[in-house]
C-alpha cells in the first residue's frame, strides 16, 4: 500500500507499506478519500515545529468509506458507508475518559500524531472513532468537520459574547463560523486581506487588518462599555499575547489555540495584576465532534469557503508547497483509489 512519510522539512517520500488488516474486534478498515492539511502538518513541513519527529505519516483530518468492519457495538455502520473519523483515541478506561474528557486522557493518542495518519490509501481505526455522514454530505465537505469540532471546543461557553479572534486562517475562520452560529459578535484580526475577505463572507461583524490599522485603537472604537472578555488566539506569539492584554477587560480570558513556533515571552506582572486567565485548546470531546458532524450534515454551517484547493494523492508534495507559498484556507489531498 502506498503511503506518504514526511522525512525532513519540505520533503515527502512515497513508500510502500504492508496492506492494513483488521487485527482485533471493534475495528474498521477505511478507504481514505480526502485528507486536509492542517497547521499541525505544516509546522514540521516548514521546519518550524518545536517538537517535530520526522519519518511519520501525517494526516488527521480525513474521510473515507468502510471497506471492512468488526463490531458488536456499532450496528449503525456498514461496509460502504461514508464516514469521518475522530482522530483522538483515548484509552477509554481512566477517570478522565469516564468523565467524558477523553481528549485530556494521559494516554490519548492522535491519528497522524502518535499514530500513523491518513496520508495513505487505507487505514485501520477503532470503531468508536467513526462518525457516519449523511447521504447529502460529500466526502470532501466532511473533511472540514474536524476543524469545526476544534472550533466548537474553542468557543465553548462564549454564546452571545463579543469576542476577538486573532488570525483568520482555517482555524480562525472555523471559530468565526461556529461563534456566529452561537450568536457571538465577532471582531476578526489578520494581516492578510484575502483571509479577512473570507471572514466577512462567513459572518464576521468587524474585520481589522493589523498591518493597515492599529488593532488596539480600532477595537476600542468598536466595543461598547462592556468591553472584551474573551479572545481566541490562533496566532500564538509574543505580539499576540501582549496585544490581548491591551484590549481585554480585567479578569478576561485568552484562549490559545495556535501552535507556537517559538518560546513565548509573557509579561506576567501585567497578566497577574489584571487577573487575566490563559486557556489552551488542543483537541475536543466526542460530543463536540458529533456536533460538528451535525453542523455539516444539516447544512447549518457551509464549509465550502474553507476549501482553497484539492490535489490528487500523487501530487501531495505540490499540495504542501501550495499551502506553504500561499496565504489560503484549507488545502485537501484526494485519494481517488
Question: How would residue 337 be classed by pLDDT, with cut points 50, 70 and 90?
Answer: low
**Domains of the chain and CATH, by start:** 2-144+303-334 (3.90.180.10), 151-280 (3.40.50.720)
Whole-angstrom distance, CA of residue 3 vs CA of residue 28: 18
Each residue's pLDDT tens digit, 28-62: 999 999 999 998 899 999 998 767 789 999 999 99
Each residue's pLDDT tens digit, 228-281: 999 999 988 888 888 998 999 999 999 999 777 778 888 889 889 999 999 999
- The angle, 0 to 180 degrees and rounded to 10, between the axes of the packed helices 238-247 and 215-222 is 30
Question: How would residue 98 be classed by pLDDT, with cut points 50, 70 and 90?
Answer: very high
Closest by Cα among 217, 232, 221 to 163: 232
Whole-angstrom distance, CA of residue 325 vs CA of residue 40: 16
**pLDDT at residue 242, as a whole number:** 87
HEC assignment per residue over the chain: CEEEEEEECCEEEEEECCCCCCCCCCEEEEEEEEEECCHHHHHHHCCCCCCCCCCECCCCEEEEEEEEEECCCCCCCCCCCEEEECCEECCCCCHHHHCCCHHHCCCCEEECCCECCCCECEEEEEHHHEEECCCCCCHHHHCCHHHHHHHHHHCCCCCCCEEEEECCCHHHHHHHHHHHHCCCEEEEEECCHHHHHHHHHCCCCEEEECCCCCHHHHHHHHCCCCCEEEEEECCCCHHHHHHHHHHEEEEEEEEECCCCCCCCCCCHHHHHHCCCEEEECCCCCHHHHHHHHHHHHCCCCCCHHHEEEEEEHHHHHHHHHHHHHCCCCEEEEECCC
Contacts of 103 by beta carbon, 8 Å cutoff, 6+ apart: 88, 90, 153, 282, 283, 284, 285
CB 60 within 8 A of CB 117: yes
**pLDDT at residue 72, as a whole number:** 87
Cell representation of residue 116: 500513523
Each residue's pLDDT tens digit, 165-182: 999 999 999 999 999 999
CB 239 within 8 A of CB 210: no
Each residue's pLDDT tens digit, 139-198: 999 999 999 999 999 999 999 999 999 999 999 999 999 999 999 999 999 999 999 999
β-partners of residue 110 are 88
Amino acid at each position: 500500500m502506498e503511503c506518504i512519510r514526511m522525512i525532513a522539512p519540505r520533503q515527502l517520500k512515497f513508500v510502500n507499506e504492508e496492506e492494513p488488516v483488521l487485527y482485533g474486534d471493534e475495528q474498521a478498515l477505511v478507504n481514505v478519500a480526502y485528507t486536509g492539511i492542517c497547521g499541525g502538518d505544516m509546522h514540521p513541513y516548514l521546519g518550524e515545529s518545536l517538537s517535530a519527529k520526522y519519518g511519520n505519516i501525517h494526516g488527521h483530518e480525513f474521510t473515507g468509506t468502510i471497506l471492512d468492519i468488526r463490531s458488536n457495538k456499532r450496528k449503525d455502520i456498514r461496509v460502504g458507508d461514508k464516514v469521518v473519523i475522530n482522530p483522538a483515541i483515548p484509552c477509554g478506561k481512566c477517570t478522565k475518559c469516564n468523565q467524558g474528557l477523553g481528549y485530556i486522557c494521559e494516554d490519548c493518542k492522535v491519528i497522524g500524531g502518535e499514530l500513523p495518519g491518513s496520508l495513505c490509501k487505507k487505514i485501520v481505526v477503532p470503531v468508536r472513532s467513526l462518525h457516519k455522514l449523511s447521504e447529502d454530505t460529500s466526502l470532501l465537505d466532511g473533511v472540514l468537520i474536524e476543524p469545526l469540532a476544534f472550533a466548537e471546543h474553542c468557543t465553548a461557553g462564549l454564546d452571545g459574547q463579543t469576542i476577538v479572534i486573532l488570525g483568520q486562517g482555517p482555524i480562525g475562520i472555523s471559530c468565526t463560523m461556529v461563534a456566529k452560529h452561537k450568536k457571538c459578535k465577532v471582531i476578526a484580526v489578520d494581516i492578510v486581506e484575502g483571509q479577512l475577505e473570507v471572514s466577512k463572507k462567513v459572518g464576521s461583524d468587524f474585520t481589522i487588518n493589523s498591518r493597515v490599522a492599529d488593532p488596539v485603537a480600532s477595537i476600542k472604537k468598536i466595543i461598547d462599555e462592556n468591553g472584551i472578555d474573551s479572545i481566541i488566539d490562533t496566532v500564538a506569539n509574543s505580539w499576540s499575547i501582549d496585544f490581548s492584554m491591551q484590549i481585554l477587560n480585567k479578569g478576561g480570558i485568552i484562549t490559545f489555540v495556535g501552535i507556537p513556533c517559538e518560546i513565548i515571552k509573557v509579561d506576567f506582572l501585567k497578566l497577574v495584576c489584571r487577573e487575566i486567565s490563559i486557556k489552551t485548546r488542543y483537541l475536543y470531546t466526542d460530543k463536540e465532534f458529533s456536533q460538528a458532524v451535525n453542523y455539516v450534515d444539516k447544512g447549518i454551517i457551509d464549509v465550502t469557503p474553507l476549501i482553497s484547493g484539492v490535489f490528487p494523492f500523487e501530487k501531495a508534495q505540490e499540495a504542501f508547497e501550495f499551502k506553504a507559498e500561499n496565504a489560503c484556507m484549507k488545502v485537501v489531498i484526494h485519494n481517488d483509489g
